[in-house]
Structure 1
Amino acid sequence: MKAVLIDDEQHNLDNLKALLAQYCPQVEVSATALDAETGKKLLYEHQPDLLFLDIQMPGQTGFDLLQSLSHYDFEVIFVTAYDQHAIQAFRFAAVDYLLKPVDITLLQSAVQRAMKQRQLKVHNQQLENLMHLLKTQQVKEDQRIALATTKETRFVRVSDIICCESSNNYTTFSLTDEEELLVCKPIYEYEDILKEYGFIRCHQSHLVNKKYIRSWKKEYGDFLLLTNGKEIPVSRGKKEEVKKALQF
């Protein structure tokens, strides 16, 4: 894979280039840039398969650069210092990011995922979803989340998710149209990013969207009855937290 690296600090570029050469020989670094303007020219000139992009740079940020492009026919791995707002957006859009200093194992995994995605498509829908999220500051009712199944990445409105149920490292999403999506990630990956959208962790294995809770049943233990007919258990340890979230 041909790659372009953009970071405003030369030592970061040198370090990443060395790591790629040693641990990711399938990646050929075509060019590097210290600012977004130069980086944009390199993208048009080299037509890379993969872009490693810093976010916080003087002048234009990495997001500014991407928003100035008309299409995304390459994969992106963001390389950044810790930024909670940005990371939340990355997780919603299911795009890869690495925190500085770069961990070798995570770098190799991100490159492998990028190669797999590159083989599947030319147009980067995840990145487009991220840019749409950042550009429009979507209202919560219209917010979409990227859910990666074994066959595809689906972009689902958060408001259409009724509940999530975990099974080891997989999570099943139940939707309002009665469809169920099996996603290749554990439920804890979604708890933080969905809680501000009204989702409640009522049990170790369950997240529920409180707008779809019909009642609290106490016949044989504590259960939440959802509008789709599912009965979701409320664990003893989560009982008070769920009551507080439901305001009763």
Structure 2
Amino acid sequence: MKAILIDDESHNLTNLQVLLNTYCPQVEVCALAHSAEQGKIAVNTYSPDLIFLDIQMPEKDGFDFLRSLNFYDFEVIFVTAFDYYAIQAMRFAAVDYLLKPINIKELVEAVNRGFKQHQLKSQSKQVEYLMDWFKVQSQKEEQRIALSTVEETRFAKVSEIIRCESSNNYTTFFLTDSSKLLVSKPIYEYDELLCGYGFIRCHQSHLINKSFIKSWLKEWGDFLLLTNGTQIPISRGKKQLVKEALKM
């Protein structure tokens, strides 16, 4: 994969280039750009498959850079310091990101995901969706979340998600249209992401949209009965949290 690196700090560019050369031999670094303007020139010159993009840069930041382009026929891995708002947006859009300082294992995993996307040539609209995410925050349009599976990236309304169920580092989403989507991310990421949208972590393996809770069953232990008839266990450690969320 041809890649360009965009960051206003030279030492960050050099460090990332060394890490890629050492641990990610499938990546060929074609250009280093110190600004959004240089990055745009590099995109037009090299037509990269992958872009490592810093968010916080002077004059124009990473999102300004993306807005300046007319196409997104490449994968993007964002590189950022701790910025909760930006990270929340990236999680909703299901794009990859790396926190500074860069962890080698996370770098390799992000590159491998980008490589698979590149091989499948499944150039999704995840970056476009990310840009739209910021617009949605100031509008009344209902929030959507990007759920990436092997076959597709589904943009689902939060209100369409009945529940999430964990299986090791995978999460299955159960939607109101009876579809199930298996996403290769752990449930704790979605717990943090969806807690502000009425979701309750009632068990280590279960995250529930409280809009679909019908009742609390107590006869054979503690379970939440959902409107579709599914019974979800409530762990002992989560009982008080669930009671508070349901105002019991």
Q: Same fold (TM over 0.5)?
A: yes
- 2:143 partner amino acid: Q
Call closer, same or farther: CA 1:17–1:169 in 2, change over 3 Å: closer
| CA–CA separation in structure 2 for the residues paired with 1:245 and 1:117 | 39
Report if the CA contact (8 A) 1:79-1:99 is conserved. yes
Q: Secondary structure at the match of 1:142?
A: coil
Correspondence 1:72-221 to 2 at 5 A:
72-121=72-121, 123-137=123-137, 142-221=142-221
Q: CA deviation at 1:138?
A: 6.5
Q: Deviations over 1:166-205 (max 9, x none)?
A: 2233322111112222222322221100111100011112
2:26 is the alignment partner of 1:23: no
Asked whether the equivalents of residues 170 and 184 of structure 1 are also in contact (C-alpha less than 8 Å), the reply is yes
Partners of 1:23 and 1:56 lie apart in 2 by 25
Deviations 1:118-174 (A, max 9, x none): 122263322122111123327687222222223332221111001112223332211
How far is 1:116 from its partner? 0.8
Q: In the superposition, relative to structure 1, how do residues 157 and 168 fare at CA in structure 2: closer, same or farther (>3 Å)?
A: same
Q: CA deviation at 1:49?
A: 0.8
Q: Distance in 1 between matches of 2:139 and 2:193?
A: 15
User: What SS does the aligned partner of 2:197 have?
Assistant: coil
Separation in 2 of the partners of 1:222 and 1:35?
56
Please, which runs of 5 or more residues in structure 1 have no aligned partner? none
Which amino acid in the other structure matches residue 132 of structure 1?
D
Number of aligned positions between the proteins: 248
Contact preservation (8 Å) 1:141, 1:158:
no
Secondary structure at the counterpart of residue 181 of structure 1: strand
Q: Which region of structure 1 is more displaced relative to structure 2, 168-177 or 3-12? A: 168-177
Q: If the length of structure 1 is used for normalisation, what is the TM-score?
A: 0.93
Structure 1 counterpart of 2:49: 49
- Is the contact made by 1:3 and 1:51 (CA closer than 8 Å) also made in structure 2? yes
Deviations along 1:36-77, one digit per CA (max 9) or x if unpaired, are: 122112211211111111000001110111122222000111
What amino acid maps onto 1:173 in structure 2?
F
The residue type equivalent to 1:136 in the other structure is: V
TM-score, normalised by the number of residues in structure 2: 0.93
Contact 1:36 1:60 (C-alpha < 8 Å) held by counterparts: yes
- Deviation (angstroms), 1:3: 1.0
Structure 1 residues 3-14: aligned runs within 5 Å: 3-14=3-14
The 10-residue stretch of structure 1 (220-229 or 138-147) with the greater mean CA deviation from structure 2: 138-147
| Alignment of structure 1 residues 221-240 onto 2, 5 Å | 221-240=221-240
Quote how far apart the aligned CAs of 1:35 are.
0.9
Instruction: Answer yes or no: is the 8 Å Cα contact 2:117–2:123 preserved in 1.
Output: no
